Structures are given as C-alpha cells and as structure tokens.
A and B are shown apart, each in its own frame.
Chain A
Amino acid sequence: MKNALRLAAVNEEALALGLSPGLALADARARVPDLRVVDHDPLADGALLIWLADSCGMYSPMVALDPPDGIILDITGCAHLWGGEKDLLSDLAARLTRQGFTARIALAETPDRAGAFARHGGEVIAINRRTPPNRVNEARSTFRAEPSHWHSSPQDGPHLPVAALDLPDDQTVALRRAGLTSVAMLAARPRAGLAARFGKGMTAKLARVLGEEDIHITPRRHLPALVFLHRFAEPVARTDYMLGVIGELAGEAEIELRERGEGGRHFTVSLFRSDGDTRRLTIETGAATRDPALLIRLFRERIDSLSDPLDPGFGYDAIRLDVGNTAVLAPAQTSLDGRAQTGEAVNGLIDRLGTRLGTGRVRRFASGDSHIPECAAYTTPASAPALPLPWAQVEAGEPPLRPLHLFDPPQRVDVIAEVPDGPPRRFRWRRGTHDVVAHEGPERIAAEWWKRRDGHQSGKGGLTRDYYRVEDSTGRRFWLFRHGLYGAEQQNPDWYLHGAFV
C-alpha cells in the first residue's frame, strides 16, 4: 500500500487503545475518531535527542547518540559522584520524567547489551509524565529491589527476544522459524554453525549483546583529560555564586594537575539548567596553566563578553569543569623579589584579551613560504603555537622594498603610462590624482603556475605582475602593479595599488 499516511510513533495511551506504529492513519482514525496527530519531524527529533544528550553530560562526559531514539552513557567511574549506580539511575529517571519524556533505562556491562535491554527487555523502567507518582516510586523501588535485573549477567538471556540482535528482517524470521526465539537459546548453540548460516556479523553482535565482547562508544564530544563536577542541592541562579563554585572546581583541578605536573590549555564549564538546558563556556589559554585565580578571571571575562547573556531561568543544577589539551607544566621558579618569570604577564594579557574579544582578534605575524606578496605573510591567533619560519632578511642601506600597509585585495587604480609596458606616470586612487616623480621597477613576480591545472602550458599559468615602487609629488610612496604582461598575456592590463610605504 503506497502513499498512505502511517503512524510513526504513538504514546502510551494510544498504545493502550490498540494503536501501533506503522498503522495507516485512516485505520487509526476509524478506531479512535478523536485521535490527535502531529506531523512526523525526524529532524526535530534528532535535534531534541542532541539537546537531551547534552543535558545528560552532567552524569558522564562519555555520551554517545544511538539514533533514532537512544542515548548511551558510559558511567564508568562516574557513579560514585551520585552515590552509586542506583542513585544515578533514579536521578536520571526522575529528571527525564520531570521533563516529560517517556524513557526506558537499562544498565549493563556493554553498550549493546544495555541497548538491547532498554529496547527489548521486559521489565525496564517505563515511566512518563502521566505516570502517577506512586507508580514512579514503585518502578524505582522495583529496580532497587532487583539489582540482578539491572546488572544483568550473561545467564539471564531469556528476557531478550532474537529481535534484540537488530539483524536484518529475513534473518530474524529465519531464526524464529528455526524455533530459536530468545537470545539465551542462541547463546547455548555452537557459534561456528550460526556463523556459517548467518554470517560473522551476527555472532559478533550476539557476543556483544551477551556482554562477552565490549566495544567502546565514541563520545559526542572530545573527551576531556579531567572532569570535575559540582552538584547543588537547590538550583542556583546567582552568577557570583556560580563563579565561586567554578573557582572551587578550578582549585580541585589545580591539585590534580599539580600532582600530574601538568597544566591545561582548554577549559570548558558546562552549566546544567534544571529544565534540561545546557550552556557551555569555553576559554583557551596560550600557555598551559592551572592557576585558579587566572581561570576565574578569564571565565568572568567570558561571561561579561557573552553576546547572549546567561539566563539562569529556574537555576542551575550542576556545574562541570572539563580540562582539556593538557601539557607538561613544570613548577614555575619565581625570582627572589617575588616576580613571575618574564613573558608570563604578556601571555596572561594575551589570554585575557583573547577571551574578551575572541582569540581570532589577538594575532601575531607569521612568514609564509611563497613569493606572491599577499601569501608571503599572514597572521595567526597569538594563543596558537608559533611556526618558526624565518623572515626574509633585508640588505643594509637599501630603501624599504615592501610596504608597511598592504591592501588585501589590491585596489584597482586608473594609470596613465608613457608606453603600455612602461612605468606609471600618473594614477588616480580614491578620488585623488597622483603624479609619479620617482619610480623603481618593474619587479616581475610570476604567478604560481605549478599550482594550476595545465599551468605549464603558455597562457594557462596565471597573470604575471610587474611591481613598481613609486613616489608622488607630495612624497607619498606606493606599491603599484600591472596585472598581466602587455601584449603577451593581456591586451589592456589592469593596474592595482597593493600597498603604501612610510
């Protein structure tokens, strides 16, 4: 049946009324006349899943998406912050319920096993907004009471149907026809035979669902080197207090980093709002650091310079500080008069200005490996490590051959020359006429023909530039070029002003 509107997803009430995903809309309307239908929007669902994954960042930095409707958290080493695995899960369940989600949560040794239990397991928590509070508490108490179910061992396979293996439909049907309906029954069979019939992929998946083989999830965000979390008993809305907490976290980070003999260059604070919204603030420093006072100053600068100011709403539940990009940082030797080492103050200044204006606005100069004037020099963010490419040396006694200011792109000028391939005599630039009284040139600079397709053939290598240093009657000195050789490359070459000398 083509071109029929079908149900993509249904809520629990609809499920109770006998509707299920895949049913044609007309049939569903026939059964439930006052059915409320909303257009299926996979993109919005995807965005919501990402939003939810971000807010799950308060439980663990290892968050991965399992589209279309799953989120995987690796809580290894995180559970103690919440008082154990059960408390973490109960907090997560309560949070999701409060936000109005229907969630099925499962905890297992491997991501595949947890996913299989969440999607196909029998008695996982399935709660939603409409669930009466006593039912939620009941659900919570069930999983507390039966930890074995949550921390499943390979033996309790019988809960899982073969569909949990996510095999192609024909294979699932083939397994069912063979009488193999549960994962446990498959587990009891010799693997070699299964692999011969259904392929290696199937046995690998079986091993993962049984928890025999572990694959690591790929987290959504680059995993920080260190993570520090602070939870609040009550949501907090005051910026000053939050900065104080960030300071405490930075203090903890300092102790840890000092023990490792390292410093961080990339710091991110994630603010988890009580309604599930997440705000991330990132600062970067040029040199590795672990100084809490410096970090606080930079974060204050960052918050002050936000174009979209912090909106605490009903307050923040938790703050997480991630330290990334760590590097070895030897303890600094201060001189006897208590002053820090030279260069440190300037680095601090660069970091502060970079945090306020954006790191792209504080730049240093670098020399490029090219003879094309605009490519011979570029600027990079000052916080990035410098590339040690030497600058071209100048000859003593020579006048400046390169301008102080370079126009990028070059500015078109109207030039009068005595002969078409000769030096300029007079030119018009920015509504002013300049009479050339002295000139030097041409300095002929060829295009980078080897970078062009068929550049070695004549006429395809790009236009040659003839540069002239000129001085006008008022003493202003400019750098002009003719774009293309007269006659050979261009019939009527254009002139450009590329720079201004002192």
Chain B
Amino acid sequence: MNNRTDSLAQLKRRINALSRSDRPEPAGLFTLGHEAMDVRLGGGLARGALHEVLGSDAAVASGFALMLALRTLMPGVLGKPILWVMTDRAERQSGRLYGPGLVELGVNPDQLISIHAPDELSALRVGADILGCMEVGAAIIEAGEAKKLDLTASRRLALAAEKSSVTCLITRAPGTVIASAASTRWSVAPAPSTNLPGNAPGQACLHVHLLRHRGGVAPFDMTLEWNRDDILFAPPAGFGPVFVPAALPRDLPAPVERRQMAA
C-alpha cells in the first residue's frame, strides 16, 4: 500500500516536472485602461499571446491593433520597438502607414519598423522570426485574407509568442475565419464619434466585439474611444460615468441570455 502511494507520488512529480518544463511561465496580462472592459476580461488580455482583430475597415482594424500594441508596452517600456508586417497587396488596398497619423494616435513613429512582405506566406515566416526575438515590444501582422494562417501556423506563432513573451496582433479580413490558436478574437467596426463643436468629427471611436476568448469570457461588445494623450481606451465622451461592478462573477450568464430564458 505504502509502496503504491509512493510510486503514485513519484509519477505525479514526474508528470508535474514534465508539464512545467514544457510550458513557460505565463507572461501576465495587460490592461486596456477601460475599467469596465478590464473587469469583463478578468483583468486584461494575455501578454505573449496571439490576438486576432477582424475588421472590414483596414484603418480601424490596424488602428485597434496598434492601440493594443501600445497598451502592451504601457507600464514603462514604451520605447520598445513595434514591428509591423504587411503584405504588398494589403498596402495597395488600404494605403500606406502615415507617420504624422501615427503621432496622432500616440505612437512615436521612430519606434515602429515596417516590414513589407511580398506575399502572405513570407509575412507569416517573418512574423515567426519576429516573435523569436525577446527585445521586440510587440508585433502586428496584417494577414489579410490569409488562407495560410491555419491552426498549425497560428499554433506555431502562438508558441513562439509564448516563449519570447512578445504579444502578437494579427489583423485579418472578416469572413476568413478559420480555426486558430489565438487567445482572443475581436471584430472591430468604426463608430460615430462624439462630434466636437462646429460639427467636427471627434476622437477616434470604435465599436469592438469580443468574438472568442480562450479563457472562457463570454462574448460582449462595447464602444470605445481612444485617448491618445494617456494611451488608454475610454468610454466615449458624453456617455457620463459608467457604473463599474466591483467584481463580475465569472459564471454569470450574459444579460441577453437571461432575457431569452425569461421569455
């Protein structure tokens, strides 16, 4: 009997040792600065993971990816380089990144390096190389309608990201949703901004929809405004203070579902 428990404990220890060496320490979470959203997400999004951004509007999708990349650098390491991989086709479609426009979103263009891959496959290869480098702050890959970014390819990227704890943001066209190893998947759309006096368009405003979360957070959608001066997401101006629950229980069903049950 005693012998058997001993061997069982030994086996358990061996399994533990194996699984721990296989899996590096999680790199922690980064917050979005929007309190209600951070609470919903259980503290923030995972660092050193893949996050997918779907959007039909290229400027909004890459803008959201850039904002998330800035948030990952937020506590203190803003100077780290952000590497942006794009394909020639995507650039022809949506125009080139514009330095003064990057400044307007709160990023110093000097810390950005753009890599122009001739096709999607080489963009993914470049992405894997970037994620192998620990000193990179964040990577943004414009995958477009990449059919090559399947479960295997995204798993490879996710493992590389986990190993180097570099956060990777992938923008892709909606409608090309293939199973992937991404930690979260977002859909973004432009949202009408709070107009300034004189009927002028206001701050960058976007409507985000969490489609999928590996940690089991229920899908939700929210309208966000980007605060360039403090580098954080904020509720759109003019909405007034938003009630923030102290802690949202994990297993609470989404309000929509509850209404359906009542009906």
Q: Which residues of A come within 8 Å of B, CB atoms?
A: 342-343, 345-346, 348-350, 352-353, 356-357, 361-367, 373, 376-379, 382, 386, 391-394, 396-397, 399-408, 437-440, 469-471, 473-477, 499-502
| In contact, A476 and B97 (Cβ under 8 angstroms) | no
| In contact, B109 and A365 (Cβ under 8 angstroms) | yes
| In contact, B201 and A405 (Cβ under 8 angstroms) | no
| In contact, B126 and A404 (Cβ under 8 angstroms) | no
For residue B203, which residues in chain A have a CB less than 8 angstroms away from its CB? 399-400
| In contact, A499 and B95 (Cβ under 8 angstroms) | yes
| In contact, B133 and A404 (Cβ under 8 angstroms) | no
For residue A74, give the distance in angstroms from its CB to the closest CB of chain B: 42
| In contact, B133 and A471 (Cβ under 8 angstroms) | no
Given A361-B116, A477-B201, the answer on whether A397 and B229 have CB atoms closer than 8 Å is yes
In the complex, which residues 55-88 of chain B have their Cβ closer than 8 Å to any Cβ of chain A?
Answer: 57-60, 62-64, 66, 81, 83
Q: A345-B133, A364-B112 are in contact. List 18 more A-B contacts (CB 8 A).
A: A342-B135, A350-B113, A373-B98, A373-B100, A377-B98, A392-B103, A399-B200, A402-B103, A403-B59, A404-B101, A405-B59, A406-B97, A407-B96, A474-B192, A476-B59, A477-B193, A500-B95, A502-B206
Expressed in whole angstroms, the Cα–Cα distance for A402 and B201 within the complex equals 12
Closest to B188 in A: A502
Q: Which residues of B come within 8 Å of A, CB atoms?
A: 57-60, 62-64, 66, 81, 83, 94-105, 108-110, 112-118, 122, 126, 129-130, 133-136, 189-193, 195-196, 198-207, 226, 228-229
B101, B115, B196: the one contacting A406 at CB < 8 Å is: B101
For residue A367, which residues in chain B have a CB less than 8 angstroms away from its CB? 99-100, 109
Closest to A364 in B: B113
Given A346-B81, A346-B133, the answer on whether A402 and B100 have CB atoms closer than 8 Å is yes
Expressed in whole angstroms, the Cα–Cα distance for A391 and B214 within the complex equals 40
For residue B44, give the distance in angstroms from its CB to the closest CB of chain A: 21
| In contact, B100 and A391 (Cβ under 8 angstroms) | yes
Q: List 13 contacting pairs A-B, 8 Å CB cutoff, sorted by A.
A: A364-B114, A386-B110, A391-B108, A399-B193, A400-B104, A402-B103, A403-B59, A438-B195, A440-B198, A500-B57, A501-B59, A501-B201, A502-B60
For residue B109, which residues in chain A have a CB less than 8 angstroms away from its CB? 364-365, 367, 377, 391
Expressed in whole angstroms, the Cα–Cα distance for A440 and B130 within the complex equals 40
| In contact, B104 and A471 (Cβ under 8 angstroms) | no
| In contact, A471 and B193 (Cβ under 8 angstroms) | yes
| In contact, A353 and B129 (Cβ under 8 angstroms) | yes
Given A362-B113, A364-B112, A377-B100, the answer on whether A476 and B195 have CB atoms closer than 8 Å is no
Expressed in whole angstroms, the Cα–Cα distance for A343 and B83 within the complex equals 13
Expressed in whole angstroms, the Cα–Cα distance for A440 and B126 within the complex equals 40
Given A349-B136, A353-B129, A502-B204, the answer on whether A366 and B99 have CB atoms closer than 8 Å is yes
For residue A502, which residues in chain B have a CB less than 8 angstroms away from its CB? 59-60, 63-64, 105, 190, 204, 206, 226
Of B63, B94, B101, B205, most buried by chain A (CB within 10 Å of CB) is: B101
For residue A378, give the distance in angstroms from its CB to the closest CB of chain B: 8
For residue A378, which residues in chain B have a CB less than 8 angstroms away from its CB? 99
Closest 9 CB pairs of A and B: A502-B63, A377-B99, A440-B200, A400-B104, A365-B109, A406-B98, A500-B59, A405-B95, A471-B201
| In contact, A402 and B101 (Cβ under 8 angstroms) | yes
For residue A380, give the distance in angstroms from its CB to the closest CB of chain B: 11
For residue B191, which residues in chain A have a CB less than 8 angstroms away from its CB? 475
Expressed in whole angstroms, the Cα–Cα distance for A363 and B114 within the complex equals 5
A363, A404, A437, A501: the one contacting B116 at CB < 8 Å is: A363
| In contact, A404 and B59 (Cβ under 8 angstroms) | yes
Expressed in whole angstroms, the Cα–Cα distance for A349 and B110 within the complex equals 17
Given A366-B99, A399-B201, the answer on whether A379 and B114 have CB atoms closer than 8 Å is yes
